[in-house]
Chain A
Amino acid sequence: MSITRFVKPEGLPAFLAHLSKDARVLAPVVKPADKRSVVFEPWKEGKEFTLEKATVPAKAAVLPQCETLVSYRKVKDKANPQNVTLELDDTPQAETTVVFAARPCDARGYVTLDRPYLKGPIADPYYKARREKLTVITLTCNSGCNTCFCHWVGGGPSSPEGSDILMTELSDGYILQGITPKGDALLEGSGLDDGADRFKEMEDVRKAAWATLVKAPNLKDAPAKVAAKFTDVDFWTRETDRCLSCGACTYFCPTCYCFNITDEGEATSEKGGRRLRTWDNCMSPLFTREASGHNTRMEKALRMRNRVSHKFSTYPENWGTFSCNGCGRCISNCPVSLDIRQIVLDAINADKAAK
């Protein structure tokens, strides 16, 4: 029996204040606009927040859009300018961080990222430093949504994977359930009321959420079927006719982890030079452009093939599970509403369609 706590809506700011004593708390914040959006931002006392699903997932907590891998400075000897000493700093930028009110799909994203970044032949020290300092408090979803498909890919509205604490909205407040020892410890020290008596209610809410979901197709054959389509360029061309080759799908994806490395700044300047790691985007022609100018993926069809294959075929090949968590952000944020679900289904059903 895990540790549970209960908090009334009006108690949340105090809870966040408590969390932010020792950590940077990233909480969803509404950005009002004609097209409003929700983004994770460092919370501070008095700042408004929301519990809506964020437009942008909290991936940046472990993999920032841009981070300095190494900063370097060349320092000249005034007497002899030919003598130059190099100062290097490659300390990972890692703060103790609590992500508050992520959704289960976001939380599962961290697990998806952990595999290549931590479990491969080399653990990425920058990622590792941040991951170790991360606590994830996840709000379970009370309903499905038109673009969500977490339950197709092994998740669900209350999937605990990747979360330290699961939080569920009840009629009059929120129940927080420790999932990991880290989560338990946090709850124990939170000073919140015990929520054990609301446990049953919590389970009912979570079950009800499942009931709102549209029936999921069976994706068991997806890895093989998507792989089988690899050489069918016509298939990918048709599927990507309307793709604009922007980076919305990848940049809003909680599991896309490709990066680019560039040097900026001037080693001899006061600020020094920075070797940056920034999100990269396999939808962009730059992703595979070689120094010669040759590009192995000139066509957007080939780029989309890479993205879909990676999520539904090659990642599963390496790690035994999809690297898509079904958050649906690539669909909802796509300027042309390109639907990855449809591409996967078309791949699966290609044989039938052919017959």
Chain B
Amino acid sequence: MRIGVFICHCGSNIAGTVDCAKVAENARMFPDVVLAKDIMYTCAEPGQAAIEAAIHEHKLDGVVVASCSPRIHEPTFRRTVERAGLNRYMFEMANIREHVSWIGKDKEANTNKATELVQIAVAKLRNDKPLKAKSFDVNKRVLIIGAGVAGIQAALDCAEGGIQVVLVEREATIGGKMAKLDKTFPTVDCSACILGPKMVDVAQHPNITLYAKSEVEDISGYVGNFSIKIRKRATYVDWDKCTGCGACTEKCPAKKTPDTFNELVGPTTAINIAFPQAIPKKAVINPEHCRQLTKGKCGVCAKVCPTGAINYEQQDEIITEEVGCIVAATGYDLMDWTVYEEYGGGRYPDVVTSLQYERLLSASGPTEGHIKRPSDGKEPKNIVFIQCVGSRDRSIGRPYCSGFCCMYTAKQAILTKDHIPDSKSYVFYMDIRANGKIYDEFTRRAMEEYGTEYIRGRVSKIYPDGEGHLIVRGVDTLLGEGVEIKADLVVLAVGVEAAKGSPKLAEKLRISYDSYGFFLESHVKLKPVETNTAGVYLAGVCQGVKDIPASVAQGSAAAAKVLGLFSKDKLENDPQIASVDMKRCVDCGKCIRCCPFGAIKEVEFRGKMYAQVIETVCQGCGLCTSTCPQGAIQLSHATDNQILAEVNTLCQC
């Protein structure tokens, strides 16, 4: 072979602690290396041009670049060598930045280590073979999981782009958290007024198939051709017949059913429609509280339903949908704040979450937009807002900032004043984070125009005074003195956590998630929408906390990714997949048994059975290769010989 090695300085990022010229000099001694040089920035245009030129000039048939992580620039350089006529897989990278220059200051050791990393890259390259991708058809349909504002945005953008969308929502109605909000900051727009039309668009769009009250049960396949099993939960109402007239909800005798849409502020009926603008506007029976389903006698709704839609026998249904890619937009849940004993641990009815407060503020909420405190229905005059309940708190394992609480608290303080002009709001905060467009101005208005009193400090205790008030005791760290407020209502800005079941879904999607359950993007800065699984994209808070505009933006971004993917009629598979050497195969089936993707099948050839890899299904994990004792099945680009070449380079004494 004729190998060229290029050592990147990455400005001073690498060159600061690695003697790049020395690494290049050492690399010249490696087998088959005919050229080795150090370059200021290999990834920049001149750097790539230099590599291309060297390939032509020195007739290189393999290239090693030692620079940053291959997770960042491997695709870049593969394209570079391809432009110069090489097969893109005749390229290897040595990571001498993240794994060398950035983690050690000892220049001699770093230079030595970088040299060795180049050496193993050369060793691997010498065992590389040109690989060719195979193309396959794309199913131009997308699955979007979660129909909050991010999922809705993604669905509408895709649908408008002519893509068939399968939208799956766990709850009975789409809209997610935004549908529960009364107003949105910083414009104090009516949430329902801006989201409502989008929800209707979803319902009416010919390209969108909506499965509400449904969950993704199983995902198989690969980019371009996923097969999805969707569990459509029993609603006990035939939605084809239900007109959403609401007659059933009026007559339902089980009137003490917890109302999850209203965040448990007030009860609802066992059969109900989440809220007037619900999409789909269909009734759902809560089987745990329905008298017919729990006790076997009632049947009122069935009697009153004018279309005969009630079906107490209904079962969950499994529906299979075939799609080409997936957008996960599963949003978030609020953390369980009752771990905070100092806030009463959930014992005081007049300590509510901010989302519950939204429902109290909302005209479509249980109090019809009148702020009434839960304990006695009285209008509160003194209202205390506490920030960072379950955010930025290491003691409960939630060190991250929930991002939008500062803003909605300011909004709620403003709305409170609008609703009850003689009220007084207090906000206990740690820091005000208001770094969006017109955000800081907005919080200023809450303080200055609406007279909200902001107290920098934590609340140490809340307790009832026995006279219907809650005593909120805290400290004002700016004044350096204790504070005690007699409050009628306390609103907690409860922190965000990944939606329940996120890790399970991540496993089905074969994507990663962080220690808090948020899905992991491909690159924190440069690939915030992609995941490491081809054809799976992220939108909204499931990827990390963000507010509505950011969620909408990411929803649109995910849609753009989907449309981009579907702009091609055929996709190319990653040729880094396994293949079987039939001569060596004894048909023991161990690979078939282990393959997580069902990508290996038995085939007959000249009267004998062999294993064979289904090229479009194989994902290239290599589990089969390490399972096959005789090495009959080898993962291209990570063959036994390639890894052995690396091991042998490092271990040869």
On whether A and B touch (CB less than 8 Å), the answer reads yes
Where chain B touches its partner, the secondary structure class is: loop
| Known contacts A81-B34, A82-B34, A293-B583; A271 and B29 CB within 8 A of each other | no
Is B31 within 8 A of A74, CB to CB? Answer: yes
For B123, the closest partner residue in chain A by CB is A266
Per the bound structure, the CA–CA distance linking A145 and B71 in Å amounts to: 69
Q: Taking the nearest CB of chain B, how far is it from the CB of A347, in angstroms?
A: 33
The reply to whether the CB of A207 lies closer than 8 angstroms to some CB of chain B is no
Residue of A76, A267, A269 near B28 (CB, 8 A) is A76
**Complex interface residues of chain B between 561 and 601 (CB less than 8 A to chain A):** 583
Q: Taking the nearest CB of chain B, how far is it from the CB of A71, in angstroms?
A: 16
The reply to whether the CB of A78 lies closer than 8 angstroms to some CB of chain B is yes
Name the A residues within 8 Å of B35 (CB-CB).
81-82
Q: Taking the nearest CB of chain A, how far is it from the CB of B62, in angstroms?
A: 14
Name the A residues within 8 Å of B536 (CB-CB).
none
Is A81 within 8 A of B31, CB to CB? Answer: no
The reply to whether the CB of A268 lies closer than 8 angstroms to some CB of chain B is yes
Per the bound structure, the CA–CA distance linking A20 and B393 in Å amounts to: 80
Per the bound structure, the CA–CA distance linking A206 and B529 in Å amounts to: 91
Interface membership of chain B positions 3-43, coded 1 if the CB is closer than 8 angstroms to chain A and 0 otherwise:
00000000000000000000001001111111110000000
Is B29 within 8 A of A266, CB to CB? Answer: no
Where chain A touches its partner, the secondary structure class is: loop
Name the A residues within 8 Å of B583 (CB-CB).
293
Question: For A74, A82, A267, which residue has the most chain B Cβ atoms within 10 angstroms?
Answer: A82
For B645, the closest partner residue in chain A by CB is A266
Per the bound structure, the CA–CA distance linking A22 and B447 in Å amounts to: 103
| Known contacts A76-B28, A266-B31, A267-B31; A81 and B36 CB within 8 A of each other | yes
Name the A residues within 8 Å of B31 (CB-CB).
74, 266-269
Name the A residues within 8 Å of B29 (CB-CB).
76, 78, 81, 268
Residue of A74, A76, A267, A271 near B652 (CB, 8 A) is A271
Is A78 within 8 A of B34, CB to CB? Answer: no
Q: Taking the nearest CB of chain B, how far is it from the CB of A288, in angstroms?
A: 14
Name the B residues within 8 Å of A76 (CB-CB).
28-29
Per the bound structure, the CA–CA distance linking A82 and B3 in Å amounts to: 10
**Complex interface residues of chain B between 619 and 653 (CB less than 8 A to chain A):** 652
Name the B residues within 8 Å of A74 (CB-CB).
31
Q: Taking the nearest CB of chain B, how far is it from the CB of A271, in angstroms?
A: 7
Per the bound structure, the CA–CA distance linking A81 and B36 in Å amounts to: 9
Interface membership of chain A positions 252-283, coded 1 if the CB is closer than 8 angstroms to chain B and 0 otherwise:
00000000000000111101000000000000
Name the A residues within 8 Å of B36 (CB-CB).
81
Per the bound structure, the CA–CA distance linking A293 and B35 in Å amounts to: 38
Name the A residues within 8 Å of B33 (CB-CB).
81
Size category of the A interface is 10 to 19
Q: Taking the nearest CB of chain A, how far is it from the CB of B47, in angstroms?
A: 21
Per the bound structure, the CA–CA distance linking A293 and B32 in Å amounts to: 29
**Complex interface residues of chain B between 370 and 412 (CB less than 8 A to chain A):** none
For B26, the closest partner residue in chain A by CB is A78
Q: Taking the nearest CB of chain A, how far is it from the CB of B71, in angstroms?
A: 29
Residue of A78, A82, A266 near B25 (CB, 8 A) is A78
Per the bound structure, the CA–CA distance linking A109 and B28 in Å amounts to: 50
For A79, the closest partner residue in chain B by CB is B28
For A75, the closest partner residue in chain B by CB is B29
Per the bound structure, the CA–CA distance linking A267 and B34 in Å amounts to: 15
Is B30 within 8 A of A78, CB to CB? Answer: no
Per the bound structure, the CA–CA distance linking A293 and B34 in Å amounts to: 35
For A270, the closest partner residue in chain B by CB is B652
Name the B residues within 8 Å of A269 (CB-CB).
31, 652
**Complex interface residues of chain A between 69 and 94 (CB less than 8 A to chain B):** 74, 76, 78, 81-82
Q: Taking the nearest CB of chain A, how far is it from the CB of B274, in angstroms?
A: 67
Name the A residues within 8 Å of B652 (CB-CB).
269, 271
Per the bound structure, the CA–CA distance linking A76 and B36 in Å amounts to: 13
Per the bound structure, the CA–CA distance linking A249 and B110 in Å amounts to: 54
Per the bound structure, the CA–CA distance linking A293 and B582 in Å amounts to: 10
Q: Taking the nearest CB of chain A, how far is it from the CB of B304, in angstroms?
A: 77
Q: Taking the nearest CB of chain A, how far is it from the CB of B93, in angstroms?
A: 20
Name the B residues within 8 Å of A271 (CB-CB).
652
Q: Taking the nearest CB of chain A, how far is it from the CB of B428, in angstroms?
A: 68
Name the A residues within 8 Å of B30 (CB-CB).
268
Q: Taking the nearest CB of chain A, how far is it from the CB of B57, in angstroms?
A: 12
Per the bound structure, the CA–CA distance linking A76 and B122 in Å amounts to: 16
For B33, the closest partner residue in chain A by CB is A81
Q: Taking the nearest CB of chain B, how far is it from the CB of A79, in angstroms?
A: 9
Interface membership of chain B positions 124-157, coded 1 if the CB is closer than 8 angstroms to chain A and 0 otherwise:
0000000000000000000000000000000000
Q: Taking the nearest CB of chain B, how far is it from the CB of A292, in angstroms?
A: 10
Q: Taking the nearest CB of chain B, how far is it from the CB of A132, in angstroms?
A: 35
Name the A residues within 8 Å of B25 (CB-CB).
78
Name the B residues within 8 Å of A266 (CB-CB).
31
Per the bound structure, the CA–CA distance linking A293 and B585 in Å amounts to: 13
Q: Taking the nearest CB of chain B, how far is it from the CB of A323, in angstroms?
A: 33
Question: For A81, A82, A266, A271, which residue has the most chain B Cβ atoms within 10 angstroms?
Answer: A81
For A292, the closest partner residue in chain B by CB is B583
Q: Taking the nearest CB of chain B, how far is it from the CB of A41, in angstroms?
A: 25
Name the A residues within 8 Å of B28 (CB-CB).
76, 78, 81
Per the bound structure, the CA–CA distance linking A76 and B25 in Å amounts to: 12
**Complex interface residues of chain A between 227 and 268 (CB less than 8 A to chain B):** 266-268
For B122, the closest partner residue in chain A by CB is A268
For B32, the closest partner residue in chain A by CB is A268
Q: Taking the nearest CB of chain A, how far is it from the CB of B22, in angstroms?
A: 12
Per the bound structure, the CA–CA distance linking A78 and B32 in Å amounts to: 13
Per the bound structure, the CA–CA distance linking A181 and B307 in Å amounts to: 120
Per the bound structure, the CA–CA distance linking A271 and B25 in Å amounts to: 20
Q: Taking the nearest CB of chain A, how far is it from the CB of B510, in angstroms?
A: 37
For A267, the closest partner residue in chain B by CB is B31
Q: Taking the nearest CB of chain A, how far is it from the CB of B4, in angstroms?
A: 10
For B584, the closest partner residue in chain A by CB is A293
For B2, the closest partner residue in chain A by CB is A82
Q: Taking the nearest CB of chain B, how far is it from the CB of A284, in angstroms?
A: 15
Name the B residues within 8 Å of A78 (CB-CB).
25, 28-29
Q: Taking the nearest CB of chain B, how far is it from the CB of A210, in angstroms?
A: 50
Name the B residues within 8 Å of A267 (CB-CB).
31
Q: Taking the nearest CB of chain B, how far is it from the CB of A77, in angstroms?
A: 9
Per the bound structure, the CA–CA distance linking A267 and B583 in Å amounts to: 30
Per the bound structure, the CA–CA distance linking A82 and B25 in Å amounts to: 13
Interface membership of chain A positions 177-211, coded 1 if the CB is closer than 8 angstroms to chain B and 0 otherwise:
00000000000000000000000000000000000
For A77, the closest partner residue in chain B by CB is B28
Per the bound structure, the CA–CA distance linking A76 and B26 in Å amounts to: 11
Q: Taking the nearest CB of chain A, how far is it from the CB of B33, in angstroms?
A: 6
For B31, the closest partner residue in chain A by CB is A268
Name the A residues within 8 Å of B32 (CB-CB).
268
For A83, the closest partner residue in chain B by CB is B34
Q: Taking the nearest CB of chain B, how far is it from the CB of A38, in angstroms?
A: 33
Per the bound structure, the CA–CA distance linking A268 and B29 in Å amounts to: 8
**Complex interface residues of chain A between 37 and 78 (CB less than 8 A to chain B):** 74, 76, 78
Q: Taking the nearest CB of chain B, how far is it from the CB of A96, in angstroms?
A: 31
Q: Taking the nearest CB of chain B, how far is it from the CB of A80, in angstroms?
A: 9
Interface membership of chain B positions 350-380, coded 1 if the CB is closer than 8 angstroms to chain A and 0 otherwise:
0000000000000000000000000000000
For B648, the closest partner residue in chain A by CB is A266
Q: Taking the nearest CB of chain A, how far is it from the CB of B372, in angstroms?
A: 82
Per the bound structure, the CA–CA distance linking A271 and B648 in Å amounts to: 13
6 of the cross-chain contacts (CB-CB < 8 Å) are: A78-B28, A266-B31, A267-B31, A268-B29, A268-B31, A269-B31
Q: Which 9 A-B pairs have the closest CB atoms?
A: A268-B31, A81-B28, A82-B34, A293-B583, A76-B29, A81-B34, A81-B33, A266-B31, A78-B28
With A74-B31, A268-B32, A269-B31 already in contact, 17 other A-B pairs whose C-beta atoms are closer than 8 Å: A76-B28, A76-B29, A78-B25, A78-B28, A78-B29, A81-B28, A81-B29, A81-B35, A82-B34, A82-B35, A266-B31, A267-B31, A268-B29, A268-B30, A268-B31, A271-B652, A293-B583
Which residue numbers of B lie inside 8 Å of A, CB to CB? 25, 28-36, 583, 652
Which residue numbers of A lie inside 8 Å of B, CB to CB? 74, 76, 78, 81-82, 266-269, 271, 293
